[in-house]
């Protein structure tokens, strides 16, 4: 039995040597080139762009020579629309300004694709203009990128998904006539709606 085991062990040793020899010969006649890919990640895209509704309804910052004949309604904000409640402006330089933010909380770069104004209601109100500015009697409503209202929000404006993903906009209602109103007139429900798309 011992001799048998010894023979088996010898045979195994011979086979192992043969295996090693074969491997060495194989390696000598071939070259293995290795390509390894690191982590391949796939991230689901999210779309979330619109007015920041935090703090809605929002109070305005009023300006002008005095508060007489001036009252600023609150602005009700949804992701797409901002609507102003009863607002009365009756003398030169009276103004109400609502500070808003358009925010991109998703992962896709966005841009403004449309701005639609809805005329306010009120006694004898008729409006001209469209887009980011309408003139309704003595009151001009503007959706602007600066507090002075001179730079209108436009369809070329972008809101990136990464750094700088907010756009400050200002809804300004201003009395634009050079003479005070004969009587106080209240306008309400002027609104601006924005549409956004992928940039």
Partner 1 sequence: MQVSKLLWVKTNLKNKKLYIILVLLCITILILSVIFTIISTKTYIKHKKSSSQLWNISFVSGNYPGIKLSSSSENLVCGIATANFTNVTVSKSNFTTTGDGCVYELTLQNTGTIDASLAIISAQTPNESKCTTKGSNMVCDSITYKIAKDKLGNKLLDNNSVLPSGESMKVYLTVMYNGANTENTSQSGAGFNLIYVEE
**Choices 9-17, 54-62, 165-173, 182-190; region in contact with partner 1 by CB under 8 A:** 9-17
What DSSP assignment string belongs to 133-194? EEEETTEEEEEESSTTS-SB--TT-EE-SSSS-EEEEEEEEEE--SS--SS--EEB--EEEE
Exactly one of 10, 12, 59, 67 binds partner 1 (CB under 8 A); that residue is 12
**Does 3 participate in binding partner 1 (rule CB under 8 A)?**
no
Q: Using CB under 8 A, which of 4, 54, 179, 183 touches partner 1?
A: 4
- Report the SS3 class of residue 122: coil
CA–CA dist 102, 100 (Å, integer): 7
Which residues are CB-neighbours of 174 under 8 A, at least 6 positions away?
89, 93, 94, 95, 96, 139, 140, 142, 149
Q: Which of 35, 54, 124, 150 binds partner 1 (CB under 8 A)?
A: 35
Binding mask 142-171 for partner 1 (x = CB under 8 A): -------------------x----------
Nearest-5° Cα angle at 180, 174 to 181: 90
Instruction: Out of 10, 18, 59, 67, point to the residue binding partner 1 (CB under 8 A).
Output: 18
Measured from the CB of residue 161, what is the shortest distance to partner 1 in angstroms? 8
Binding residues for partner 1, rule: CB under 8 A, are: 1, 4-5, 8-9, 11-12, 15-16, 18-19, 22-23, 25-26, 28-45, 107-109, 161
């Amino acid at each position: 039995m011992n001799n048998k085991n010894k023979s088996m062990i010898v045979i195994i040793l011979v086979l192992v040597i043969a295996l090693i020899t074969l491997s060495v010969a194989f390696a000598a006649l071939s070259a293995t080139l290795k390509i390894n890919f690191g982590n391949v990640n796939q991230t689901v895209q999210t779309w979330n762009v619109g007015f920041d509704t935090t703090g809605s309804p929002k109070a305005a910052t009023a300006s002008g020579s005095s508060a007489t004949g001036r009252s600023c309604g609150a602005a009700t904000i949804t992701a797409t629309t901002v609507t102003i409640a009863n607002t009365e402006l009756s003398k030169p330089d009276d103004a109400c300004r609502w500070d808003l933010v358009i925010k991109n909380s998703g992962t896709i770069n966005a841009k403004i694709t449309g701005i639609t104004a809805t005329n306010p209601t009120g006694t004898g109100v008729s409006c001209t203009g469209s887009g980011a500015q309408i003139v309704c009697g003595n009151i001009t409503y503007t959706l602007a990128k600066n507090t002075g209202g001179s730079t209108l929000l436009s369809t070329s404006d972008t809101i990136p998904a990464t750094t700088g993903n907010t756009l400050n906009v200002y809804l300004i209602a201003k009395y634009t006539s050079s003479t005070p109103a004969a009587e106080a007139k209240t306008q309400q429900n002027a609104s601006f709606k924005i549409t956004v798309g992928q940039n």
